[in-house]
Structure 1
Amino acid sequence: MTSLLQRYPLPVIVLAQLFGTSLWFSINGVWLSLSAELGLAESDLGRLTLSVQAGFIAGTLALAVTGLADRFGASRIFLISSLLGALANAGFVAGAGVFPLDSLFRFATGLCLAGIYPLGMKLVIAWTPKYAGAALAWLVGMLTLGTALPHLMRGATAGMPWEWPLFASSCLALLGGLLVFLLGDGPHLPKTSGRLPLRQGLSALRLPRFRAVAGGYFGHMWELYAFWTLVPLLIGRELQRLGQGDALIPWLSFAVIGMGAAGCIGGGRISRTRGSEWVARRALMVSGALCLLYPWMNGLPPELLLAVLLVWGVAVVADSPQFSALAAVTAPKETVGSSLAVMNAVGFGLTLPAIWLTSGLWNAWGGWVALLLLPGPVFGLWSLSRGKSEA
């Protein structure tokens, strides 16, 4: 079994990443039935999503500061994180609707995701160093599909208890962890010095080019997770205008978020000829334009607005792997790891206020909350342009 998996390391890692990251938005996929049964509001959705993000940030920084990711095998950390994440995700069923227990379970899930997503990147380098750039686009694409997967599972289990898709996500995460454990750490694991001094990561921000790329990534992250959180709400509004029930919301949410995987992979191919920055700029331009225009489209046919959401789903994440590639190139070689750790931590930190604002104001503003996402792409484009002028 192990020898078979080692013949195809990249597909194994990509598939495990898909399964593991299905934990990320697992409750979002069942939110309509969950909130109806327990009497929860959209602000509770924001609170629980924020808990996952906060856990991921804490876990990422903990791995960086302690050097745990370098002291133990990446495949073992991936397995343990998948196991604990699956248990925390399943544990949410017992604590659903009970504050702060529900938030603690989601925070724990986020902590565990810090041992899945970043370690997946490390494993790609360990197994396929020659194709790491192209593989990164596939990994982010699988993160996107993993985020969308709970919506698909909810659609497939319509009429069944909301707990079932959560348990299914936990089972998938366990399977992903076992696949990576059987695969192993890989023959090309990069040498590290243990702890990552975060001061070195912060010092990279003094470099104009890295600062410009990091600024673009920060703007991208302000928009990305808040948009993913809003997708079921935006779709539900359009289906209501069509006189449809809620049954189509999970399927369409999966389509909108999942289309981002095509954006990542397609953007990766285009970047080979046009360059990563070209792709990142165009993706920010498209998603920024939709942030601005979407609220003014209220009177247009719902079918058209659903199509617009599909385009938005492609553009909003197509730049993500390109920013990671640009950051790896522009960061000092001796501090690439710590530089990326700091950039990722700050980027995910920015998702917290964006999600809190948009979900908290949804009931009052409706689709106009999309305007609150606009500063992200605007700042990202400004940062990239400023970096070019300073170069």
Structure 2
Amino acid sequence: MSLPTPAAGRPWWVLPAIVFAQFAGTALWFAGNAVLPDMLREKRFAGLDPGSVVSAVQLGFILGTLGFALLRLADRVAAVRLFLLCAVLGSTANAGLLPGLAPAAVLALRCATGLCLAGIYPVGMKIAADYYEQGLGRALSYLVGALVLGTALPHLLRWLSVGASWQAVVLATSVLALAGAVLLWVLVADGPYRRPGAGLQPGVLWQVFRARAFRQAALGYFGHMWELYTFWAFVPLLLATHSALHPGAGSFGPGWSFAIIAAGGPACVAGGYLAQRWGSLRTARLALAISAAACLLSPGLLLLPGPAFAAALLLWGMAVVADSPQFSALVAQRAPAAAKGTALTLVTCLGFALTIVSLQCFAVLQAWVEPRYLFLLLAPGPLLGLWLTREQKVAALE
């Protein structure tokens, strides 16, 4: 598989540098969640739970993306410089977990980390969009694949560092995020398709939604986001539920959490190549259909023997995120050129706002619903996404 070709005369290393910086920066996302089981062994962290830790990051991300969109920072400021600043601040906030802190301080730092991620994930997509006018869906597939691997990385580090302190995992993710941003700043300049935006124009936030094609792509993305982060956050619960239903069959450790989440990385890249033949929308709909089926079948999947269950979860982990770069490509392609960064940031902001609702609904239902049936809650997202992007609207979106 060859990388997408940027504008003529542009260095070959542009996309690899953006991809690595995205991978390194997004490792901050689940760093707190991955080490939470180890943190909870210390009395001072009593009261923390995975839903709250992930929601704190999502809340910070939403506040950050909303602020970026209102100020149109991604269109007014050199994107690489903005990415570097946010990575430095995010790495610092993440490393702030190292001293002994009260649960409230941990949540505040995770929120601050999420705020800084608003200048990493959508801004990384904006940098790519400034280089790739053609083949954007394939370029973004590499970036979202990097996001997936970065999200999964803390689980891998925790698995590899058995016996080491959780602080080592936190420090490693902070150093990696900083290194990726510095590399991007050194190697990548503003892209040839960058269109500097005007000053603060709140009306532009609503103008971008007036185009039917843009609106439908955004709504499809929102359906996808209802499922994505709640699935990622509660993969360990899914694995633990299977182990409880099959005593004596062995358990799935952190390495499996990494594998299931990380499977989405190559799936995003493969989806980018498939989109060249099928189009971004049809590719996204295929992924939505597979993940919707997995949600609906989840009670039955938990009854499968270990190998079959693991294979089903790997497929689910691939499908749950493979549609993300294609929806982002449609959003970027259908937004006004001078508001591309703002449109990506705004849609990302609203999508992540939905993840908090999904996470909190899931967390509340844990007290009332048998774990085997909890993942049915995720099904409305991909099902609505499929309905909102149904076939009669393909022409409008493509």
Report if TM-score (shorter chain) is over 0.5: yes
Change in 2 beyond 3 A, CA 1:91/1:43: closer
Aligned partner letter, 1:298: L
Q: Aligned ranges for residues 174-323 of structure 1 at < 5 Å?
A: 174-188=178-192, 190-195=194-199, 197-240=201-244, 241=246, 243=248, 248-323=252-327
Match of 1:56 in 2: 61
* Offset at residue 348 of structure 1 (A): 0.8
* Offset at residue 19 of structure 1 (A): 0.7
Match of 2:125 in 1: 121
Change in 2 beyond 3 A, CA 1:390/1:141: closer
Most deviating of 212-221 and 296-305: 296-305
Match of 1:381 in 2: 386
* Offset at residue 124 of structure 1 (A): 2.1
* Offset at residue 120 of structure 1 (A): 1.3
CA contact (8 A) 1:242 1:302 kept: no
* Offset at residue 136 of structure 1 (A): 0.8
Change in 2 beyond 3 A, CA 1:79/1:370: same
1:25 aligns with 2:30: yes
Aligned partner letter, 1:373: L
Change in 2 beyond 3 A, CA 1:128/1:205: closer
Provide the rounded CA distance (Å) in 1 between the counterparts of 2:318 and 2:242. Answer: 19
Provide the rounded CA distance (Å) in 1 between the counterparts of 2:200 and 2:388. Answer: 26
Q: Aligned ranges for residues 156-171 of structure 1 at < 5 Å?
A: 156-171=160-175
1:45 aligns with 2:50: yes
Provide the rounded CA distance (Å) in 1 between the counterparts of 2:382 and 2:145. Answer: 20
Provide the rounded CA distance (Å) in 2 between the counterparts of 1:344 and 1:166. Answer: 25
Aligned partner letter, 1:325: A
Change in 2 beyond 3 A, CA 1:300/1:128: closer
Query: 167, 172, 177: which one pairs with 1:173?
Result: 177
1:82 aligns with 2:97: no
* Offset at residue 107 of structure 1 (A): 0.6
Provide the rounded CA distance (Å) in 2 between the counterparts of 1:94 and 1:195. Answer: 41
CA contact (8 A) 1:226 1:355 kept: yes
* Offset at residue 332 of structure 1 (A): 4.5
Change in 2 beyond 3 A, CA 1:55/1:212: same
Secondary structure in structure 1 of the residue aligned to 2:41: helix
Provide the rounded CA distance (Å) in 2 between the counterparts of 1:170 and 1:245. Answer: 33
Cα displacement string for residues 28-54 of structure 1 (whole angstroms, at most 9, x for unaligned residues): 222222223348679721111111111
CA contact (8 A) 2:57 2:113 kept: yes
Provide the rounded CA distance (Å) in 2 between the counterparts of 1:122 and 1:208. Answer: 22
Secondary structure in structure 2 of the residue aligned to 1:94: coil
Change in 2 beyond 3 A, CA 1:357/1:41: farther
Cα displacement string for residues 304-339 of structure 1 (whole angstroms, at most 9, x for unaligned residues): 222211110000001001111222233445544433
Greater helix content: 1
Provide the rounded CA distance (Å) in 1 between the counterparts of 2:55 and 2:287. Answer: 25
Secondary structure in structure 2 of the residue aligned to 1:312: helix
Provide the rounded CA distance (Å) in 1 between the counterparts of 2:359 and 2:392. Answer: 28
Change in 2 beyond 3 A, CA 1:106/1:77: same
Secondary structure in structure 2 of the residue aligned to 1:93: coil
* Offset at residue 218 of structure 1 (A): 0.7
The unaligned stretches of length 5 or more in structure 2 are 1-9
Cα displacement string for residues 215-240 of structure 1 (whole angstroms, at most 9, x for unaligned residues): 11111000001100011121233345
Q: Given the two structures, how large is their TM-score scaled by the length of structure 2?
A: 0.89
1:91 aligns with 2:109: no
* Offset at residue 127 of structure 1 (A): 4.4
* Offset at residue 272 of structure 1 (A): 0.6
Change in 2 beyond 3 A, CA 1:68/1:277: closer
1:10 aligns with 2:15: yes
Secondary structure in structure 2 of the residue aligned to 1:100: helix
Q: How many aligned residue pairs are there?
A: 385
* Offset at residue 119 of structure 1 (A): 1.9
Match of 2:5 in 1: none
CA contact (8 A) 2:68 2:342 kept: no
Match of 1:144 in 2: 148
Q: Given the two structures, how large is their TM-score scaled by the length of structure 1?
A: 0.90
1:111 aligns with 2:93: no
Match of 1:155 in 2: 159
